[in-house]
Amino acid sequence: MKLIFVVLFVAFAASFASSTLTGLIEGEYILEPFGTDDVIYANEYYEPEMFSTAFGSFNDYFVAEDFIPVGSDFDVTDVTWWIITTGSEPIPYSLEILFYADAAPGPGALLWSGEPSDLVLVDTGVTFAGFVIFEATATLPDTDYFTAVDGTQYWVSMHRTDGETLYIILDSVVEGTESYRIVEAAGPWVAGSTTGDPPYDPTDVFQVIEGTPLGALENETWGTIKVLF
């Protein structure tokens, strides 16, 4: 009898790990303002515009959102996404951050991927479909930042790699280009609005990307040297 119970439990867990999660939002979240000096791109979480469906980003499910740095070339240092996990382990200890080139209308070649050197999760106090929404900030290794060139469009993805679930909180409003996703790793990237039956509305990913302008350290150091003379 115990063996049957275990098998049924595994089957239920597998069936629940789908490419989308649909539900209702409960609670209230006050967004702490991000610093303006190091923000490359911001589509900060705003509850009234939260989409009723979240896309999965684990196993064979990937979600990517576009961004364009403006004003400088940047070393990307941190990426913040608002996420939900529904598996047995709610905290994603194993993640990868991926940056893609643009291949209009969606992501193109993979340019950079790696595990964050640090991950900070903040319980927002808000739930979606009964699960906690976390503000998740991933810090890239300082020995291997991704360099984003001024005025160039890129795509970024946060992907859970430990087999547990992770869902991305979506905005119902599109700024620029809507999010794209892959339902199977070998499949094509498709726009969020064209996936589902019936198709979903256009969506963006809530996220904040931070970085350091290239040459900032050199410029500051040179200025200090000039003062000495």
pLDDT of residue 197: 74
At 218 the pLDDT is: 47
Residue 12: what pLDDT?
Answer: 34
Residues 171 and 179: beta-carbon distance below 8 Å: no
Rounded distance, CA 101 to CA 228, Å? Answer: 43
How far apart are the two ends of the chain, measured CA to CA in Å? 84
Q: Round to whole Å and give the CA distance between 178 and 41.
A: 15
At 219 the pLDDT is: 45
Question: In this structure, what token pair is assigned to residue 50?
Answer: 């939260």
Output the pLDDT for position 32.
Answer: 80
Q: Identify the pLDDT of residue 216.
A: 54
pLDDT at residue number 155:
97
Q: Give per-10-residue mean pLDDT for the chain (229 aa).
A: 35 58 92 80 92 94 95 95 93 93 95 96 95 96 93 97 95 90 85 83 93 68 44
- Are the CB atoms for 167 and 57 separated by under 8 Å? yes
